[in-house]
Amino acid sequence: MAEYELQCFAQSGNAYKVALMLELSQASWTPVWVDFFNGATRDPEFRSEENEMGEIPVLRHGETRLTQSAVILEYLSQQLGTFGWENEEERREILRWLFWDNHKLTSYVATLRYMRAMVKTGETDVTRFFEGRAIAALKVLDQRLADTDFLVGNRPTIADLSVCGYLFWPEEIGVDFGPYSNVNAWLERIKALPHWVAPYDLMPGHPLPTPA
């Protein structure tokens, strides 16, 4: 039996952040597919038993149940001894990028991709608004990576594994990453890490069934 059980689905970048951490660390883990697109996370039983926030990922490790990708990443870095910090200042700097990712990058990029690639709303005032916010965040990230190979401490940490979570899908996001050459070079460095696997190959549920 695997040590870690990750509730996830292939299209979730937030779940990918954790799956990538587990895979890069060569942990003993197994994915458990959650039927997000048919409302599994809105189910009252899911909310009472798994996550009142109604979100994926959920990690189970023995009796411990954890949610919020960043909290799980922090936990795993300590459990597995990988991709963590070396001192308190680094720990805070990693945490700072984890919050920035959740608030300013993923919150816009993930929603934009969801509208364009999953709901297929077409171009609307809402997609244009989210695209503006997504591009502002990509600029901050590109600037940060101008003279460092990774976000914190010049080596890969959970900050990188979180921030990259949605960025291997530029076509689905529908934003040209061309101008962000530092971001692109950094994504290549992450892809070159031993045991890297792309999101759709790492978690179950891809491709989505074609509607009848």
Pick from 15, 66, 163, 187 the residue near its own copies by CB under 8 A: 66
Structure tokens at 109: 């990029």
* Closest by CA position to 25, among listed 194, 207, 204: 194
Which residue, 54 or 174, is less far from its own copies as judged by CB?
54
Token pair belonging to 88: 């308190």
108-127 mask for its own copies (x: CB under 8 A)? ----------------xxx-
Residue number, 39 or 209, with CB nearest to its own copies: 39
Q: Taking the complex as a whole, how short is the minimal distance between the CB of residue 1 and its own copies, in angstroms?
A: 24
Contact residue for its own copies among 27, 40, 80, 95 (CB under 8 A): 95
- Per the structure block, which two tokens stand in for 72? 């799980």
92 binds its own copies (CB under 8 A): yes
Tokens of 9: 């689905």
Q: Do the Cβ atoms of 76 and 27 come closer than 8 Å? A: yes
Given a contact cutoff of 8 angstroms between Cβ atoms, the answer to whether 142 and 182 are in contact is yes
CB contact at 8 A, 112 and 174: yes
Where do the DSSP E strands lie in 46-126? 58-61, 64-67
**68 part of the interface to its own copies, by CB under 8 A:** yes
Beta carbon of residue 96, minimum distance to its own copies (angstroms, whole number): 5
Binding site for its own copies (CB under 8 A): 47, 52-55, 66-68, 70-71, 74-75, 92, 95-96, 98-100, 102-104, 106-107, 124-126, 129, 140, 143-144
